[in-house]
Amino acid sequence: MPPRMPNWRALNWLRPSPEPPIHEAGDPFAMARERMVEEQIVARGVHDERVLAALRAVPRHAFLPEHLRHEAYLDTPLPIGSHQTISQPYIVALMTEVLGLEGDERVLEVGTGSGYQAAVLSLLAHEVFPIERHAELATNARQVLARLHCSNVEVVIGDGTFGLAGHAPYNGIIVTAGAPHVPQPLLDQLAPGGTLVLPVGEATSQMLEVWRRTSAGLERKEVTPVCFVPLIGEHGWRDDVCA
Ligand code: SAM
């Protein structure tokens, strides 16, 4: 059975440029998703109403292989192929909240994976540019995002450690893979007042860091320890890091 889609019409208030929505009545996962938001996300301290509404709206199950859909709303990352994962819902919510999106931003996401995080961002920002190094993941994410009518998202295939200079600067940059250090191109592509959120540390465990470009220069804060797959690329890890 194809995944049920959210009522995007009801969500137009989340983003400034309403798109022609699709609507399919009924969603077998609606209650599970609501429980996910209350028990995994609100209970852990994420309170931004726009972020919570986006998490309530985006059908995480649509971004998973058929055989894993029944696990879509569990408190865990899940495999999506190519040895990669869709992130834990709480971490998606936390990183999204840190960006402080109000609706008119241009956002770069490094590590598209399934496309789920990009769909959440698409409801909260003006334009989203997700970049993914695995072509098959990017292609699949493109298809799901198109089916959900996320028309303000443009998935790019490539090494996101270079950022995406063609669309810079970005008000928000979110990196959903663990970096050994902050890639300099991402800092260079951060707009004045912009926020970069990314995991930095070892290949298998990192600290979630937030960088802000203020009038006084770059500010850095630590949020919480996290555990992401490695960011592989010219300004990240070599691709034999886990060999
Ligand atoms: N945000 C994703 C989602 O919503 O499903 C989950 C991302 S997964 C934890 C990390 C992703 O980063 C993987 O798909 C991986 O291939 C990708 N990745 C790693 N290094 C990358 C790079 N240099 N450029 C782009 N993508 C990269």
The residue among 48, 44, 59, 33 whose CA lies nearest residue 90 is: 44
Say how many domains are in the chain. 1
Beta pairing partners, 201: 206
Q: 208 by DSSP, 3-state: which?
A: strand
Q: Is the CB of 171 under 6 A from ligand 1?
A: no
CA dihedral 76, 196, 190, 14 (to 10 degrees): 60
Residues in the chain: 243
Does residue 42 fall inside a structural domain? no
Nearest CA, atom 19, ligand 1 = 231
Q: Closest ligand 1 atom to the C-alpha of 228?
A: 9
17 catalytic? Reply is no
Please, are residues 174 and 99 in contact by the beta-carbon 8 Å criterion? yes
Which CATH number covers residue 127? 3.40.50.150
Does residue 139 fall inside a structural domain? yes
Please, are residues 18 and 146 in contact by the beta-carbon 8 Å criterion? no
Does residue 214 fall inside a structural domain? yes
Q: Is the CB of 132 under 6 A from ligand 1?
A: yes
Angle at which helices 49-57 and 89-99 cross, to 10°:
140
Nearest CA, atom 12, ligand 1 = 111
**Full residue range of the structural domain in which residue 189 is found:** 75-242
**Residue 67 contacts by C-beta under 8 Å, 6 or more apart in sequence?**
none
Q: What is the pLDDT along the chain (243 residues), one digit of tens a residue?
A: 444 445 454 454 455 433 333 334 478 999 999 999 999 999 999 999 999 999 999 999 999 999 999 999 999 999 999 999 999 999 999 999 999 999 999 999 999 999 999 999 999 999 999 999 999 999 999 999 999 999 999 999 999 999 999 999 999 999 999 999 999 999 999 999 999 999 999 998 999 999 999 999 999 999 999 999 999 999 999 988 766
Does residue 160 fall inside a structural domain? yes
Does residue 161 fall inside a structural domain? yes
Q: Closest ligand 1 atom to the C-alpha of 109?
A: 1
Q: Which amino acid is at 102?
A: E
Beta strands in 14-147 (DSSP E): 78-81, 84-86, 106-110, 127-132
Does residue 46 fall inside a structural domain? no
